[in-house]
Amino acid sequence: MLSNIRFCPIASGSNGNCMYFSSGRTSVLIDSGLSGVRIEGRLNSIKASGFDIDAIFVTHEHSDHAMGVGVLSRRYDIPVFATSGTWKAMERDQALGRISAKNKRLVYTDENLILNDIRIHPFSVPHDAAEPVGYTIEARGVKVAIATDMGEITREIIENISDADILLLESNHDEDMVRTGRYPEMLKRRILGNFGHLSNINCGRLLAQVITDRLRHAYLGHLSEENNRPELAYETVKNILLDNDFKVNEAFSLRLTDRKGCGAQVAI
């Protein structure tokens, strides 16, 4: 029996990130890293609307996660939740635009927040931002975990994303493509560093550590356009899982997100 939970990656990649979650009663966005117009269009494509959104939760201040936050909050009077460090960084960015004081809300790392019938839990991730977090969302016995923009695998990440029914993990780059690519050395070091992004191999290793019988859908997200290929990310992660005796696309589905449009929407 369906519990009315809906999840859809509206966008995922270095050009923009936005995830949609609905319990049937409460709908939220995790990040809004596209223009307001593009997010509205993609919400409409999955039969949702900005008027349906009860809150926006921001992982960190980088523009590919926060670009559309201000316009959506103003247009639809949506509360925006972020850590104190993220708020301070966003408020320095004039491009974000004004958000009314009543819609500025705080989340605290490792503290649950209840919004109507859903429970949101922010957890720390290692990334070169002010106070970045990943999020788990729980409602009606279903757990969704979103963890991107992380330079390394930590115990805190493993503990928080385990036992998810739906899981979106960063599979940002192929390490060899970064090392031999055209990026300047400083940027290569940033991507490969402990506060950069998770590679395909490390994504597969992390996923293999946290899969339980609960997992139904796993997404590979935040793929780099320059340093990755969708088929390479998918096959790298899939092969690691098969080597660890997981029955990919039998026990659970393994899906790619889409840089240019909505990924597959799932309902539980």
**pLDDT tens-digit series, residues 154-198:** 999 999 999 999 999 999 999 999 999 999 999 999 999 999 999
CATH assignment at residue 251: 3.60.15.10
Average pLDDT for residues 123-130, to the nearest whole number?
97
Residue 78 forms part of a structural domain: yes
How many domains does the structure of the chain reveal?
1
Residue 1 forms part of a structural domain: no
Smallest Cα–Cα separation from 257: which of 167, 188, 174? 167
Q: How far is CA 249 from CA 82, 200, 231, 236, 254, in A?
A: 34, 18, 16, 15, 6
Average pLDDT for residues 106-128, to the nearest whole number?
98
**pLDDT tens-digit series, residues 204-259:** 999 999 999 999 999 999 999 999 999 999 999 999 999 999 999 998 999 999 98
Read off the pLDDT band of 28 (50, 70, 90). Answer: very high
CA distance 261 to 268: 22
**pLDDT tens-digit series, residues 79-116:** 999 999 999 999 987 667 789 999 999 999 999 999 99
Buried (b) or exposed (e) across 127-156, using 16+ Cβ within 10 A?
bebbbbbbbbbbbeebbbbbbbbbbebbee
Buried (b) or exposed (e) across 77-86, using 16+ Cβ within 10 A?
ebbbbbbebb
Residue 263 forms part of a structural domain: no
Beta carbons within 8 Å of 237's beta carbon, 6+ residues apart:
171, 200, 203, 204, 207, 220, 254
Average pLDDT for residues 30-59, to the nearest whole number?
97
Q: Is 240 helix (H, G, I), strand (E, B) or coil?
A: helix
Read off the pLDDT band of 35 (50, 70, 90). Answer: very high
* CB of 127 closer than 8 Å to CB of 196: yes
Lowest mean pLDDT among 3-7, 30-34, 55-59, 194-198: 3-7
CA distance 254 to 268: 16
Smallest Cα–Cα separation from 125: which of 105, 150, 104? 150
Q: Is 209 left (phi over 0), alpha (psi -120 to 50) or beta?
A: alpha
Residue 267 forms part of a structural domain: no
* pLDDT value, residue 1: 44
Q: Is the pLDDT of residue 18 over 60?
A: yes
Q: Is the pLDDT of residue 3 over 90?
A: no
Residue 265 forms part of a structural domain: no
* pLDDT value, residue 94: 67
Domain of 119 in residue numbering reads as: 6-258
Q: Is the pLDDT of residue 2 over 80?
A: no
Residue 232 forms part of a structural domain: yes
**133's tokens:** 């977090």
Residue 198 forms part of a structural domain: yes
